[in-house]
Amino acid sequence: MFKFFTQLKKHFFDSSFLPFIFLGLLLISQLLLALFLFQTETVVLILSLLALGVWLVATVIALNLIEISSRLDLERNQINAMIYSIDDPAVSYTNDFEIILVNPALEKFTNLKREELIGKVIRPELSNDARYGFLTKLIFPSLAPLVVERSADTYPQKIKVKFDQPRELTLEIVTTKVVDEHGNNYGFLKIIHDLTKDEALQKTQRDFITVAAHQLRTPLAGLSWILELLVKKELGPLTPEQEKLIKQGQEAVVESLKTVEDLLTASQIEEGKFGFQFTQADLIPIIEDVLTNFEPAASKKKVKLIFYRPNFKLEPFVMDPLRVKLVLEILVDNAIKYNVENGEVAIKLELDPKLPFINISVADTGQGIAPQDLSKLFTKFFRSEAVMKEETSGIGLGLYLAKNIVEHHGGKIWVESIVGRGSTFTFSLPLDPAYLPPQ
């Protein structure tokens, strides 16, 4: 009853409720008239009361419908306001691809007016239409001239495409389902991010890094050769102090050359020029070779290297052995660098319980990684403050390279860490070549 009077007060002057008000007043006046004129006519009184009861029921139903309609209008207006406030082009359409909502950014982006869009049904056949062809390729991104990246078939879906007409564009199209609280799908919302300027800027940065790295590599290689001659005393004897300084210089040059090579490798990966050579290879010898090569560095840091051999037979599988070795070198190198004295670095292999993948983990007993740094760990040039205090060399490319190599194999890389107790980096590789992405 309280809800009824609340709704009545809220919608009393609503235009859609006014007919019920007039009908109610008419029935009440009719009832009063019946009471005054036909006091002994029971039938008339019953009929009048019955009509008033029907009106009350109809009024309650009408108020509920008006309340629902009002709420839907409010929600629709809120959604419209949100979409209109988005700077990126956005379009919403039904399951039948009838456009129901666009924002001004989409009108400007497609050079189509709202009046030309609302109610228009977009079909793939319109992809060559002079007016609607570009919009059609946005709604059906697989029709775009070049599909660069595509997410899994789950929502929200992301797809990166390139256009050369009507102008050169690189776009990321994000598609989200529009569902109600019961999970019923009413349509889709697409938001288009224009990445053209960002890509141009990134290309300029990559070109600069590539040129600078190439220019540095030649003189550094020459300097390394000269220092090698001096260390071998082929140019004459050295005093102990000179020999010490030259060896320090040699180590610095080697570190600088490694940085230059990492920069070039990162640029090649981003440009798609980092050629992978896939072949049948055995993972166990690769791990053993990496641990053997890092034994001197581990001994110097007083860190123990452990390889827990699997209790299952691991057959050779398709991979790029040199690149997989590089991933292991990056992870083991970091595990040694950021470990504690008398710490451990342990490598384990486990089969994925659900998919034909092998999981390779590299665990250390080092300082661990702060929670706020975990999400940035595999991004380019990222180095946490704690790491920079302990290890000043490096530019933060190792984990970025490792992530790209693993993903080019169709795998994933992740980390689990506890500050003060250590970190475990794990990456997966497919044992079935069917899971390798197209190269």
Instruction: Say which residues have a Cβ less than 8 Å from residue 364's Cβ, sequence separation at least 6.
Output: 334, 335, 336, 338, 339, 343, 344, 345, 346, 422, 423, 424
Lookup: tokens for 303: 């860190």
Closest CA relative to residue 407, chosen from 381, 425, 430: 430
CA distances from 356 to 215, 317, 351 (A): 44, 11, 8
The pTM score is 0.54
Closest CA relative to residue 340, chosen from 368, 373, 362, 307: 368
Distance CA 67, CA 14 (A): 11
Lookup: tokens for 60: 């309650």
Distance CA 365, CA 344 (A): 6
Q: Which is it for the CA torsion 353, 358, 363, 369, positive or negative? A: negative
Residue type, 251: E
Distance CA 132, CA 120 (A): 10
One digit per residue, the tens of pLDDT, for the chain of length 439 reads: 444 445 454 544 555 555 655 555 555 565 555 555 555 456 555 655 566 566 566 666 665 655 555 554 544 555 566 666 678 888 888 888 998 888 888 888 888 998 888 889 999 998 888 889 999 999 898 888 888 777 767 778 888 888 887 678 889 998 888 776 667 777 888 889 888 887 777 766 666 666 666 677 777 777 777 878 787 777 778 788 888 888 888 778 877 877 777 777 777 666 655 668 899 999 999 999 999 999 998 998 899 999 999 998 999 999 999 889 999 998 999 999 889 889 999 999 999 988 999 999 999 998 888 888 888 888 877 666 666 556 555 566 788 889 989 988 999 999 999 888 899 999 999 999 988 887 6
